[in-house]
Amino acid sequence: MQAGVIGGYRRWKMLFLLPLAMAIGTGAARAQPPRKPAAPAKRFDLIRWNHGQFIYGADYYPEAWPERQWEQDARRMQAAGINFVRLGEFAWVKMEPAEGRFDFAWLDRALQVLAAHGIRAVLGTPTAAPPAWLYAKYPDIAAVNREGIRYRFGSRRNYSLLNPHFLAATRAIVTAEAEHYKNNPAVLGFQIDNELGNPYCYDHYCRAAFQAWLRRKYHRLDALNRAWGTIFWGHTYTAWTEIPLPWNTLFGVVNPSLALDYDRFFSQTTRRYLDFQARILRRIAPAKAITTNEMGMFDAVDYSRLNTAIDFAAWDNYPMFDQRHSDYFGPALAHDLMRGSKAGRNFMVMEEEAGLPGWTTFWGRQAAPRLYRVWAYQAIAHGADGVCYFRWRTSRYGTEQYWQGILDQDSVLNQRYRVIARMGREVRRLTPLIEGTRVAARIALLVSPASRWAFHIQPLTKNFDYNRQLERYYAAFRRRRANVDVVFPQQDFSRYKVLVAPSLFAASAGLARKLTRFVAAGGVLVLTYRSGVKDAHNVFTRRTLPGRFARLAGIAIHDYDPQTTQKQTILMAGARYPAGVWFDILTPAGARVLATYGQNYYAGKPAATLNRFGRGAVIYVGTEPETDAFYDRLALLAAKQAGIGLGARLPAGVEEASRKKAGEKLLFLLNYTGRPQRVRITAAARNALTGGREGPQIELPAYGVRVLRLAGAGGG
């Protein structure tokens, strides 16, 4: 389809525009569905997909470099063990230089050069970077911000998801790309768009679609008014068209129920846009796999819902860019969340940090080159069957000139290249051992998208951070060598012994019943402050706090103290722990007191409790302790209540994780520090790379990795 024109494009375009936008925004597509494409694979095997090779790759932009350089790049990639590239996710204007005129000849040549060196590709659908000609012809495709101002051309992903001109253009480019590459053996599949999930949508298309979405959800306007409590401030609606988008109000306040439904609408609209592209790809190129690259702890979209249309999850990992978290437990949690978003299936990293991250106005931190190998092994240890570094060569142009790739702009084979080439040799040897293994865990962390959104709408205190709570509890079990899964409310909890659900703020009746069954059947549930406060509509409960969880936790909360600066001390088993953010003052109603407060008018009052319920137990922590020691103690207590053992505490800066298949476990020991570390394992093992016997005392060099084979090993 080089320089071709899709026949009839202009004839059908205008007939297609508005109905398509409304179908994506409201779910009308479900009422009159198109021919249903093949569903995603139930258990997609990434290594088999890549012809029996572990996916080891780089994000490559041949369009930005002289064609005479491509051959040298491919040779160097092959020498480094690279067998995979992602191409084209920002190349819309190269693929469609003018409306309806498509040119893939340049990409064909790049794929041919790469394939000659054993390198296959995933192609991005280039919708994250609409071309200037599209904005010039249809300026309203640009998104409108909260203040009602339309963005200008010059960034990326600044489109309106429901603009009919943009949707028509999306259909045209995705159709052309799928048709052209459906039978190309060098193309393994497609990545839809790039880092879906923004910007939020505030134009008139979005408002009309939001109103239609609400009508489908509530059916009757009086049901919506009742659910949202619109009697407050006299905000009762008398027509669906009166309902606004949550933006640009005096004092910046909106009805929290409206805002939460808007977050759900936006997440679902993003999912429908992905579904829209996926249907085209599956209809035309059913043999090709489909994914999209995601952002770990990013929360504007519910990834567990988004990923229903794709074959495998993939995400972009930059440990040195997000400085709020530790260099290893933060990325570890994000890996596990991405795995959990696809119900525990193995995933890949589509963008793995390969150098200093830096945009025009903000920077990450520079890492020791050997850490790029450690982080890649961390991804594998947490269930990745593929790692793709961003990017092959640092850009000479635009916003990301300071975001280093494997090579810098001068193409010199630097230390980063040598580290990555070393790992390329290693993963080739490890592939037979990795293939077929999975992460097994008996402990899970429950992530509630509704609660995350509700806290954004009405922040608890200025120093509250939902993700920080997730990481603190997660890290406590990881320090004790336990694998941890991440689960979402609609998923199955029954295979876990311990479930940690921090600040389960907006909880539906169905989720409360599900957690009650989990505990009654023998599970141990950990709840924390501000749980059970709101219902599914983001409306405050009429029950005594913690609302639907009061009987389960065996407590009542009649008073609480939100704190922005003042600290507290909690006393537990003879030890004192500093705490902050929020203090629920607990009244036991059958629960046993675990910890008490040390200061203020509620000194001596319970701060944490344990309640036996059915065959299980509930631990409620009414505050946010600020030291690892507390979380370590709590993890041991929860595990003991569940009848599972935890391992000895790891040295700071060292991580242990495992994958297993029948009769064998792969144990990963990772040293993120610049000094040697000593780790003791429970039994001698074989080094998976050398075949030699090691242990039980393991010496890890600075930034060192050990991959060990343990025969006949059990659980997670």
**Tens of pLDDT, residues 648-660:** 999 999 999 999 9
- Mean per-residue pLDDT for 269-289? 98
Are 555 and 591 in contact by the 8 Å Cβ rule? The answer is yes
pLDDT of residue 2: 38
What is the arithmetic mean of pLDDT over 161-180? Answer: 97
Nearest to 177 by CA among 160, 166, 189: 189
261/20: higher pLDDT: 261
DSSP code of 446?
E
Per the annotation, the verdict on 400 as an active-site residue is no
Does 74 have pLDDT greater than 90? yes
pLDDT at 703 over 90: yes
Which residues lie across from 187 on neighbouring strands? 121
The amino acid at residue 118 is: G
Q: Is 351 among the catalytic positions?
A: yes
- Number of other residues whose CB lies within 10 A of the CB of residue 666: 22
Contacts of 397 by beta carbon, 8 Å cutoff, 6+ apart: 64
pLDDT of residue 7: 37
Nearest to 54 by CA among 439, 423, 441: 423
Q: Is pLDDT at 11 greater than 80 in this prediction? A: no
Q: Which of 46-50, 462-466, 485-489 has the lowest mean pLDDT?
A: 462-466
pLDDT tens profile 668-685? 999 999 999 999 999 889
Q: Are the C-beta atoms of 491 and 302 separated by less than 8 Å?
A: no
* Full DSSP string of 294-351: E-TT--SS-HHHHGGGSSS-EEEE-TTT-TTS-SSHHHHHHHHHHHHHTTT--EEEEE
User: What average pLDDT score do residues 396-424 get?
Assistant: 96
Helix/strand number for the chain, H first, E second? 20, 27
Residue of 96, 177, 195, 352 with catalytic role? 195
φ, ψ for residue 429 (rounded to 5)?
A: -70, -30
Confidence of residue 482 (pLDDT cuts 50, 70, 90): very high
Vertex 615: Cα angle to 614 and 619 (nearest 5): 80
Question: What pTM was computed for the model?
Answer: 0.94
Strand blocks (E) in 327-437: 347-353, 384-390
| Sequence-ordered list of residues with C-beta below 8 angstroms from that of 23, at least 6 positions apart, any chain | 29, 272
- Cα(439)–Cα(484) distance, rounded to whole angstroms? 9
Beta-strand runs (E) in 46-108: 55-59, 84-87
Helix (H) or strand (E) holding 666: strand 664-671
Give pLDDT tens digits for 578-600.
Answer: 999 999 999 999 999 999 999 99
Instruction: Kindly tell me the burial class for residue 482, based on how many C-beta atoms sit within 10 Å of its own C-beta (0-12, 13-18, 19 or more).
Output: buried
Instruction: Report yes or no: 405 and 679 within 8 Å, Cβ to Cβ.
Output: no
Q: Could you give the domains of the chain?
A: 1-44+56-71+83-206+254-312 (3.20.20.80), 207-253 (no CATH), 443-642 (3.40.50.880), 654-711 (2.60.40.1180)
CA-to-CA separations, 633 to 78, 531, 625, 638, in angstroms, rounded: 49, 21, 11, 9
Backbone angles phi, psi at 128, to 5 degrees: -75, -15
Burial (CB < 10 A; 0-12, 13-18, 19+), residue 306, is buried
pLDDT in tens, 486-530: 999 999 999 999 999 999 999 999 999 999 999 999 999 999 999
Q: Please report the pLDDT score of residue 350 as a whole number.
A: 98
pLDDT at residue 452, as a whole number = 97
- What is the arithmetic mean of pLDDT over 681-707? 95
Q: How confident is the model at residue 249 (pLDDT cuts 50, 70, 90)?
A: confident
CA distance 329 to 474: 8
177, 351, 471, 624: which is the annotated catalytic residue?
351
Helix (H, G, I), strand (E, B) or coil at 436: coil
At 355-398, the pLDDT tens digits run 999 887 777 788 999 999 999 999 999 999 999 999 999 999 99
Max Cα–Cα distance, the chain, nearest Å: 78
